[in-house]
Amino acid sequence: MIYAAILGHGVVGSGAAEILEESRAQIGEKIKDELVIKYILDLRDFPDTPYHEKFTKDFSKIVQDPEVRIVAEAMGGLNPAYDFVKQCLLAGKSVVTSNKELVAAKGCELLAIAQEKNVNFLFEASVGGGIPILRPMAQCLSANNITDIIGILNGTTNYILNKMVTENMSFEDALKLAQEKGFAEKNPAADIEGHDACRKICILAALGFGKHVYPEQVKTEGITEVTADDVEAAENFNCVIKLIARAKKNADGTISAYVRPTVMLRDHILSNVNGVNNAIMVIGDRTGPVMFYGKGAGKFPTASAVVADMMDCAKHLSARKYLSWDEGHEGYVTESDEPTQLYVTAHSDDVEKLCEEIRAAYPPELWYIKNRVNGTVTFITPYQRESELLAQIHRFPADHFKIFHTLF
């Protein structure tokens, strides 16, 4: 018999409790032991659950109970999750979590404590919900040097952008619909401003490249500035706009990392990731690109990943899994000025003149096509250093430029 505790009885925590109850026999068979919830920590009361007698409001009962070997943290947020997780690890308990904010901010420290105490700290559910990604990266791709990680890591924003494409909705209407459907929270800032995707790319980058990346180090832009016009113009180029999170290894050992709305061709496999789905493309020097796809959130997908981690802890109570990364540092995440193509919408009251100048500056290929809606011209630049492109673009006779990065 292996005793566990769950911290938090919200969406993910209650899902994990349900799975552990419902699939008790099946889980027991797989781990060759019985995994039993001893406590559920929550400040609220849940008198109607079949396991109401397991609830406690007192964290110290859990951390001080030597019988509890595994703790699942599903409270979310930094506080008090950080303090609770740290105490559990220090008390020699293995901890699993779905809390991306916690792992992105404190992962390195918590992994070090786990190592010191010879216990496990696992967090598969923190990125991509139920999509297996962290374990495959750490284990199956271990004979690779990972060079690049590109992901659609936030289902809410992907849903919104998708609705803007398929149903010509405005950003505001699509957001409202997402809220009605329960895909976006009442306060959607963490999603639509890119912070959620940022935390996830920090975790992926740390695992893939070996050093902690802090959310503050990652240039993060959300989708609030993407308009129906932008989406429509992109379609003229057979492109879609996706919120892309990316972390890339540079030759000098630093990395580039960002979250930003990105214009990509429809034949890129990531462009077909629709609705609330997530996808993560990991590029290894030996495998080339491999992609992981599925529902990136939701009660049972995420809870099933938490339970799988608990099962893994149960199987490794004495043998620690090798999972760790080094502390990050200032200057580790840099801005790259690599050759790229930019996607530009320029506004001018004299569209004809603007078109003429663009036509004169760039070779007459497919790389710019005008779109005369609202006095704007949209074009895709040639492939050049970003700094040079920006200088070039701003010489055009326009009163306003809107610039997207691309992924072709």
The DSSP output letter for 343 is: E
What type of residue sits at position 385? Answer: R
Distance CA(36)–CA(40), nearest Å, equals 11
Whether 242 sits among the annotated catalytic residues: the reply is no
Compute the least distance from the CB of residue 219 to a copy of itself, in Å.
28
Compute the least distance from the CB of residue 249 to a copy of itself, in Å.
14
What type of residue sits at position 100? Answer: K
Distance CA(384)–CA(399), nearest Å, equals 23
Nearer to a copy of itself, 129 or 194 (CB): 129
The DSSP output letter for 368 is: B
Residues 128/149, Cβ–Cβ less than 8 Å: no
Compute the least distance from the CB of residue 274 to a copy of itself, in Å.
8
Name the residues that contact a copy of itself, by CB under 8 A: 19, 23, 26-27, 30-32, 124, 129-132, 135-137, 139-145, 267, 269, 272-273, 284, 286-295, 298, 300-301, 303-305, 307-308, 311-312, 315-316, 319, 322
Three-state SS letters, 236-248: HCCEEEEEEEEEE
What are the respective helix, strand and coil percentages of the chain, to the nearest 5? Answer: 40, 25, 35
Contacts of 314 (CB under 8 A, 6+ apart): 2, 31, 33, 35, 69, 70
Nearer to a copy of itself, 208 or 301 (CB): 301
Residues 40/5, Cβ–Cβ less than 8 Å: yes
Residues 345/393, Cβ–Cβ less than 8 Å: no
Nearer to a copy of itself, 157 or 304 (CB): 304
Distance CA(231)–CA(164), nearest Å, equals 7
Nearer to a copy of itself, 140 or 369 (CB): 140
Nearer to a copy of itself, 42 or 312 (CB): 312
Compute the least distance from the CB of residue 102 to a copy of itself, in Å.
20
Out of 163, 200, 248, 249, pick the active-site residue.
200
Compute the least distance from the CB of residue 181 to a copy of itself, in Å.
16
Compute the least distance from the CB of residue 260 to a copy of itself, in Å.
24
Contacts of 249 (CB under 8 A, 6+ apart): 145, 146, 147, 148, 209, 255
Distance CA(257)–CA(206), nearest Å, equals 11
The DSSP output letter for 306 is: H
Distance CA(381)–CA(362), nearest Å, equals 8
Quick one: which H or E segment has residue 376?
A: strand 376-380
The DSSP output letter for 86 is: H
Compute the least distance from the CB of residue 308 to a copy of itself, in Å.
5
Indicate which residues carry an active-site annotation.
Answer: 200
